[in-house]
Every structure is written in C-alpha cells, then in structure tokens.
Amino acid sequence: MLSYNPHTDTHAIQKYQFLHHFLPHPETKKRAKLLSHAALLSYSLAMVLVIGLFRTIPLIAPGVLGYTSNITFSDLLDDTNRVRQEHNLPLLHVNNELSLAAEKKAEHMFANDYWAHVAPDGTTPWDFILAEGYDYSYAGENLAKNFNNSNQVVDAWFESPSHRENLLNDHYDEIGFAVVNGVLDGYETTLVVQMFGKSRLPTQLATVLELEEENAVEAPEQNVVVEPAPQILPAVDVALASKTISMLIGGFLLLLLVLDIWYSERKAIPKITGHAFSHVLLLVIALVGVWFVLSPGKIL
C-alpha cells in the first residue's frame, strides 16, 4: 500500500518552515522570524540608513532630493486676507516695494544658504524693506519652506502664536510676497517670504487707492492674471518618499502582528517571547522618527 506522510516530505517540511517567517512556531512557541528581536533590529537599522541617505545625498548631489510644491502669490494673498476677514480686520493691499523686498530676501537666503530672519552677515528684514524705498512705521516678516501648497503655508502661520500675531496685526495695511524656488541645504525647495508694512506716509497709500478706484471705473474691464511660481518637481520628493517608506514598513509589520495574534489564538500557542507591547512601541518610535526627521513644512 502506498501512503503519503507530509512530515517525511522534504519539500513540504521546507514549505512549512518557511511559513514560520510570518507565523509563530507551535513547537518552539516563538514569534514569527520576521517579528523576532533580530528582525526588528534590522528594520530599525534600515530606517536609520534611510535617514542617513536622505541626509547625505544632498551633500553629494544637491537638488536631487526636494519637496514638491505648487504655491502661488494669489492664493497666499487670498488665504491671508480670508484669515483677517474672519477676525473682522481690514484686508491688506499688495505693495510692490514689499514684494520686491521679499523677493530679495528669498534670493539672499538661497545665495548664502541660510534659513533665518537675520542673515549670517547681520542683514535684517528691515534692511531689504528700506533698500526698496519703503519707509515704514510698522513692519513684519513671516517665512516658510518645504510646503506643498499655499493653504498649508497660511494654516501653519496661523497655528503659530508669533506668526499669527503678524497675520492679525491691525497696524499693517500693506503686504508683499515672494515665492522663490531654489536649492537650500542641498534640497530643492520653495521659499515663501511674507512681508507686512505700514507706510510712514499714509496719504500716499490713500492716494494710490483713490487712483485704483478711479481707474477701475474709467478703464475697460480687464482680467488680471497673476503668474504662479513654477511648480517644483524634484527627482525624489522627500515628503512622499518618507511617507511611503513609513507606510510600507508600518503596514508590513502591522500585518505580521495581526497574523501573529490570530494564529496564536487559533492554535493556542502560549508564546514565551511575547512582548507585544514592546514590539509595537519600538515600531511606533522608529516610524515616527523617520517621519519627524524628514517631515516637510517649516516656518520661521
């Protein structure tokens, strides 16, 4: 009589053993091999390596990594005035001198590779404003980088008490923006500079507004088009890459944990190396670490 015993079939045994990479072992009562301490240590080291690569590549090949963005002057203005309107504050009017000052500030940061209100050489925001001939009684500056769109920028400013103070300052009546693309710290990014002001010559602003109103009545109707800053499309989007890596690793390990719990209960396997909480905690810390280190969107 011919019979088949899977326990003596080499191929069946190898296949069965392979499953224990994903499922706990009923005999040794240990977790799946891919959830072992050695495996988790390997995942953690791999994530450290990824962070190291994202930090090293910009030094070797500046501009390869970056942050995809689609930020426009008009959206920044609309979102800023929307916030002020919600708080019963007058709308801000665009001033070309403030916009030029903001553009010069952004270009200065790219040229000198810094990210600060005051440049390493001591140049302040007020120096840029005065250099454009804008004599102010009140002035302020908000900075942003690595954001995807205009709404995210204004929302981040509003969530910050110091930046919100600029957005809702009732002393300001004029504003200027600059949205400039370039390479900063080795990363391709978009810098947003927002400059507020109140001229020492209020009659000058009143005259300009009166002329605008007259021209709006007398001149034929025209559609004003504000050219958006070109969209940044780096070779590798840091935000998308870090999010994808975190989700893939997190999803894979979460699936392994679910399989581990399900199979253990089904087969009544009392694992002697449980430590489920420590596994989950280590996983969360590692994934949050990747996202925190590579997270986009910074304001100043």
Q: Give the long-range contacts of residues 47-53, CB within 8 A, separation 24 or more.
A: 47/245, 47/249, 47/286, 47/287, 47/289, 47/290, 50/245, 50/290, 51/289, 51/290, 51/293, 51/294
CA pair distance 226, 50, nearest whole angstrom:
40
Q: For residue 275, report the phi and psi dihedrals to the nearest 5 degrees.
A: 50, 40
One-letter amino acid at 11 equals H
Report domain extents, the chain: 28-60+237-299, 73-212
Residue 254, both tokens: 């979460």
Asked whether the whole model's pTM tops 0.75, one would answer no
Helix (H) or strand (E) holding 244: helix 238-267
Name every residue whose Cβ is closer than 8 Å to that of residue 34 and which is 6 or more positions away in sequence.
21, 22, 256
| DSSP annotation of 289 | H
Q: Is 73 helix (H, G, I), strand (E, B) or coil?
A: helix
Domain at 73-212, CATH from 3.40.50.2300, 3.40.33.10, 3.40.630.10, 3.30.1490.20: 3.40.33.10
Per-residue pLDDT of the chain (300 residues; tens, 9 = 90+): 444 454 444 454 455 566 666 676 666 566 677 777 777 777 777 777 776 776 676 666 565 555 556 788 999 999 999 999 999 999 999 999 999 999 999 999 999 999 999 999 999 999 999 999 999 999 999 999 988 889 989 999 999 999 999 999 999 999 999 999 888 877 778 899 999 999 987 645 544 555 555 555 444 443 333 444 555 555 666 666 667 777 777 777 778 777 877 777 776 666 544 455 565 566 666 666 555 555 567 889
With a CB cutoff of 8 Å and minimum separation 6, the contacts of 258 are none
